[in-house]
Each structure stands twice: as C-alpha cells, then as structure tokens.
Amino acid sequence: MATVIPAYGKDYKTEEEAKAAWDEGKDFVTQSLDIGFNQYCSKRDFKGTVNVRFDKKQQVIVVKGAK
C-alpha cells in the first residue's frame, strides 16, 4: 500500500484535516518503496487505499483513491 505525506512542508494536526485535504485533491508526496519517493500526487492518482501520514508524520489514516 502506498504511503503519502502532505506536500510543500504542510502538516495536518488532526485526522479530519488530513482526510479533508485528501478528499479535496490537495497535493501530497509519495513515501513508498513500491511507487517511489518524493513524487507529487493526489487522490486522483490512486486506485485502492493509501496511507496518509500527518501530525509530524506520527499518525496514519487509510483513505481511498479516486480511481
């Protein structure tokens, strides 16, 4: 499963903020061996589920891609 973090140095403090940003199509950066590191992406680029790290990369939620 892919893992992403908020792009441009952003950070989300709560699960609700992180999920809202994902659902709005905000930019994230990949952090996974299987798909590569530091590639910009958003919800529209994924099929299936994705891990989103937030709160200084200490918390993780699982979200759905758009495809």
Residue 5 burial (CB count, 10 A): 19
Report pLDDT digits (tens) over 8-20.
Answer: 999 999 999 999 9
- Measure the CA–CA gap between 28 and 52, rounded to whole angstroms: 9
Give yes or no for a contact between 58 and 15, defined as CB atoms under 8 angstroms apart: no
| Domain residue ranges in the chain | 2-64
24-51: b (≥16 Cβ within 10 Å) or e = eebebbbbeeebeeeeebbbebbeeebe
Q: pTM of the full predicted structure?
A: 0.91
Instruction: Indicate the residue type of 53.
Output: R
pLDDT band at 35 (very low <50, low <70, confident <90, very high): confident
